[in-house]
Amino acid sequence: MKQNKASHLLDKFLAAQKAGKEIYFDADEIDDILERLEDREDYTHYEAILSLGLRLHPGSTELRIRQCKLLIYKEEFNQALDLVDSISDAAHLELDLLRLECYCALDQYHKVVSYIEAHLNDDREELEEVFEYLAPIISDMDMNEETSDFIQRGLKIFPNNMILKDELCLHLEAIGDIDGAIKICNELIDKNPYSVDYWFMLGRLYSMSADYEKAIEAFDFALTCDDSDIELKILKAYCLYMNDNFEKAIEVYSDIIDTDNSLRDRITPLLAECYIKQEKYEEAYRLLKKHLSEKETNSVEDISTFLNFIRCCMETERETEATVILNKALELYPDNIRLLSILAIKYTEDGKDKEAKEITEKLFRLIDEANDSLVDNAESLFQTAQYLNLKNDIREALKYYLKILNIDPKMPLITMYIAMAYLSLGDIEAFNKYYNLTPQEELADFFNKSGIDLDDLLRNLESKHIEPENLTKEYLKNKGHRN
């Protein structure tokens, strides 16, 4: 009834505004209209109606409070604080809450602490409301020390408050204490075992700690509480994918598309990745070809979609199509490290040594200037280096290996690849240098997988009777070692 009345009042205001006429409402009617607009999150006429109300009823505490909220929403905190302090109703809890919110925004947390300490013996329900109101606000302001202090103060007084524990869980997640967040989340679930939000939160936390089995289990519990949350299903499918359960991930992704076809564009590339992991390149190729063909010619697509489609084309012997999509991707992402790495390989295959050298120089320059993930860049360069090595272009491969060492010195076996490249070039001194830099456990792994007899290699080196050009071939021929 109240909402219907507010809607009717709003219609009267809009009609008067359209006719250019002034209209009268009492303060409560203005407040009802504004409350209705807030509920609908429709702020189109909010300021105009509030302005009218303040002209008609300049002394209304409720309307002035709404004016304070509007100023805070517009981040005009000093003005909001001045207005709060000018309102004479000193015993108004809502005014206290707004004042404390302004203190936080103006980096005056010490005043919040003073308020809490001054009201420890006052109404407990009102004090608890202060903590519940302010905790998420402080947390959203990225005030880590203050957030931790405020939540701990609140839990010391109200140890069973679920809102504060919820905020503590989110805060621990934000500062990277995932184990601590999981512990608190389990406490929340103990109190409310049928909360889809808590189970979803627990699954997300486990996924962040790469414990995908437990994440999937938590998501399954969440889905028993509410099976309509699409984001939950997407994250579950991701965890299944990360847990190498590709068949089940395909089932979940397919179910999402069947449930909501509007998500097809978003889900199709994820579904294709599952098929690629199963080496079902033809299925992935068909999915991605249809997906890309439905896009506008110059529409921006996630780079991984292009990369996966190029890989599917190569794996299914569609080299011409791979070249076409590579060129299209390069038009959209001309400085992408992974695309340029593929282009360098293509030029090498085509015998275009000059172009390959130019792309390599561009790659290295971009990496030196890059602000994105160096590890991702190193992985892209590594794939190119391995290809060049397989093609017996050892000198070019070595350039890549050395660049990788520079940007990601912790990459497993990188010093051993450099050592073997130098060995293939007959540089025994450089081989010894990088061989000795390789950790013993990595050496054992390398020679175990490569099929090279370490003792025989060392004897040949000592006698200088070596045939270096063939030493890495068996290792690199293994498909699993080229990725």
Q: What is the CATH number of the domain that holds 204?
A: 1.25.40.10
Number of domains into which the chain is organized:
4
Contact 407, 377 (CB under 8 A): yes
Q: Judge if 260 and 301 occupy the same domain.
A: yes
Q: Rounded distance, CA 9 to CA 131, Å?
A: 36
Q: What is the CATH number of the domain that holds 310?
A: 1.25.40
Q: Rounded distance, CA 266 to CA 274, Å?
A: 14
pLDDT score of 439: 85
Query: What does each C-alpha distance from 277 to 242, 246, 284, 308, 475 come to in angstroms?
Result: 10, 7, 10, 11, 22
Indicate whether 467 belongs to any domain: yes
Of the candidates 335, 263, 343, 276, the one whose C-alpha atom is nearest the C-alpha of residue 311 is 276
Query: What does each C-alpha distance from 483 to 169, 310, 379, 437, 479 come to in angstroms?
Result: 38, 15, 8, 23, 8
Indicate whether 50 belongs to any domain: no
Q: Judge if 254 and 314 occupy the same domain.
A: yes
pLDDT score of 4: 76
Q: Judge if 481 and 419 occupy the same domain.
A: yes
Q: Rounded distance, CA 38 to CA 46, Å?
A: 8
Indicate whether 17 belongs to any domain: no
> Can you say how many angstroms the Cα of residue 71 is from the centroid of all Cα atoms in its chain?
32
Q: Rounded distance, CA 96 to CA 68, Å?
A: 12
Q: Judge if 253 and 285 occupy the same domain.
A: yes
pLDDT score of 340: 87
Q: Judge if 312 and 354 occupy the same domain.
A: no
- The DSSP call for residue 438 is S
pLDDT score of 477: 46
Indicate whether 105 belongs to any domain: no
The predicted-structure confidence for 347-399, as pLDDT tens digits, reads as follows: 888 888 888 888 888 888 887 776 555 556 777 788 888 878 877 888 888 98
Q: Rounded distance, CA 231 to CA 256, Å?
A: 10
Q: Judge if 259 and 315 occupy the same domain.
A: yes
Boundary residue ending a domain (220, 242, 264): 242
Indicate whether 184 belongs to any domain: yes
Mention every residue, 6+ apart, whose C-beta is less than 8 A from residue 199: 189, 218, 219, 221, 222, 225
Q: Rounded distance, CA 73 to CA 108, Å?
A: 18
> 349: helix, coil or strand?
helix
- Please say whether the dihedral angle defined by the alpha carbons of residues 75, 77, 83 and 84, taken in this order, is positive or negative: positive
pLDDT score of 39: 87
Q: Judge if 262 and 303 occupy the same domain.
A: yes
Boundary residue ending a domain (320, 345, 370): 320
Indicate whether 311 belongs to any domain: yes
Q: Rounded distance, CA 397 to CA 418, Å?
A: 9
pLDDT score of 370: 65
Residue by residue, pLDDT tens for the chain (483 residues) are 566 788 888 888 888 888 888 889 999 999 999 998 888 888 889 999 999 999 999 989 999 999 999 999 999 999 999 999 898 765 688 999 999 999 999 999 999 999 999 999 988 999 999 999 999 999 988 888 999 999 999 999 999 999 999 999 999 999 999 999 999 999 999 999 999 999 999 999 999 999 999 999 999 999 999 888 999 999 999 999 999 999 999 999 999 999 888 999 999 999 999 999 999 999 999 999 999 988 654 455 688 899 999 999 989 999 999 999 999 999 888 888 888 888 888 888 888 888 888 888 888 888 777 655 555 677 778 888 887 887 788 888 898 899 888 888 888 888 988 988 898 888 888 988 998 888 877 777 777 766 666 666 666 655 544 444 444 444 444 444 443
Indicate whether 476 belongs to any domain: yes
Indicate whether 255 belongs to any domain: yes
Residue 392 belongs to domain spanning: 335-409
Boundary residue ending a domain (367, 394, 409): 409
Q: Judge if 442 and 477 occupy the same domain.
A: yes
